[in-house]
Amino acid sequence: MIKKQLIMEKALELFAQQGIEATPIQQITDYCGISKGAFYLSFKSKDELIIDLIDHFMMEIIADIDYTVNNTKNDEELLYTFYYSTFDSFHKHSDFAKIFIKEQTKSFNEELIVKIHYYDRLMEGIILSLIERLYGEKVKHTKYDLIYCIKGLMNSYSGLFLFNNAPLNRDLLCQSLVEKTNLLASHTTVPFITPEDFQMLKHPIKEEITMEQIIEMIEQILKEIEEPIEKESLILLKQHLLEPTLSPAIVKGLLENIRNHPHCKWVSYLLFRYYELEK
């Protein structure tokens, strides 16, 4: 196992058991069976380790949820699919989910706050597109409140089964949340979050990923992977960014080629969002 990956996996186990603040670097290195010097060859600090953990898991969770939602063609199944995909990701990465939910309100490190806020805004973007697709003009004045209602439902029920070891029937849970969300969408009439409020709340987020940053990311991935189909697809996608010549159908096919590769999930998500924004 690569040393950096080993440190991340073992640190995650300790953080899940006793919290981030209570886990010193020395305990992490002892648990990994490595020296402190070896730790600092991979990470400059514990904060950098935490940021890398957030990146690693949130990139995968966001990419998986976004892909599932965008590839659900039946609107009647869309909300259920969104909730199921979200809770499935939480279940799959339960140790990280526990840390993320508990620690995001405790951190006073500015870089960590910005990082957490960044992924939170990405999730809000997925929820907003889902709301607009399902309810359209009917929720024109309340859709931003619905975003926070849905996030609240997700956080509350996630905590229920992550921290209380409650038996969870995911299918029943998702059916119940679909019913609650539809009731809120149908009967909420007094908006609290205005469009101006929603735009104002975006300010702490980092700037959008640029084409140049995506190209740099692709170049780094090309150095790390050997699979010929994924490699060729990345090369073509990079060329298309520099000089657009491919049809949308070909671009979509190339993205399908790379999206399940562990090194490519995030860049495939960014490329998908980039081309959506470019339309």
How do the pLDDT tens digits run along the chain, 279 residues long? 458 888 998 998 888 788 788 889 999 999 999 988 989 998 998 888 988 888 888 888 888 888 888 888 899 999 999 999 988 888 788 777 777 666 655 555 667 777 778 888 889 989 999 999 999 999 999 999 999 999 999 988 887 777 776 677 889 999 999 999 999 999 999 999 887 777 766 654 444 678 888 898 899 889 888 899 999 999 999 999 999 998 988 998 999 899 888 788 788 888 887 877 554
The CA-based angle 189-86-90, given to 5 degrees, is: 130
Structure confidence at residue 259 (pLDDT): 83
Comparing CA positions, the residue from 60, 55, 170, 169 lying closest to residue 116 is 55
pLDDT, position 204: 46
What pLDDT is stored for residue 103 in this prediction? 60
Tokens of 42: 């991979």
Residue of 184, 219, 183, 58 whose CA lies nearest to 123: 58
Triad 20, 21, 24: Cα angle to 5°: 85
Q: Cα dist. 133→45, 61, 74, 111 in Å?
A: 43, 21, 11, 33
Through-space distance between the first and last CA atoms of the chain, rounded to whole angstroms: 42
Q: What is residue 106's predicted lDDT score, i.e. its pLDDT?
A: 55
Rounded (5°) CA angle 266-90-19? 100
| pLDDT given at position 1 | 46
Q: Do domains 3-43 and 48-200 have the same CATH topology?
A: no
Retrieve residue 187's tokens: 């009967």
For residues 220-255, b (16+ Cβ closer than 10 Å) or e, as one string? ebeeeeeeeebbebbebbbebbeeeeeeeeebeebb
CA of 192: how far to CAs of 143, 144, 147, 150, in Å?
A: 10, 8, 12, 15
Tokens standing for residue 180: 């609650």
Question: What is the reported pLDDT for 213?
Answer: 85
* Residues 53, 67: Cα–Cα separation, whole Å: 21
Each domain of the chain, given as residue ranges in start order, spans: 3-43, 48-200, 211-278
Residue corresponding to tokens 């991340």: 8
Q: Which CATH class is domain 3-43?
A: mainly alpha
Which residue's structure tokens are 């969408």?
185
DSSP 8-state assignment for residue 260: T
Kindly give, in sequence order, each residue whose CB lies less than 8 Å from that of residue 147, ignoring residues fewer than 6 positions away.
124, 127, 128, 131, 193, 198
At residue 70, the pLDDT reads 85
Half-sphere exposure of 6 (CA within 13 A, CB side): 14
Provide the pLDDT for residue 206: 45
Residue 145: name the closest of 163, 157, 158, 127 by CA: 127
48-200 CATH fold: Tetracycline Repressor; domain 2 (1.10.357)
- Taking the CA atoms of 74, 76, 78 and 84 in sequence, report the sign of the dihedral they define: negative
- pLDDT in the model for residue 116: 78
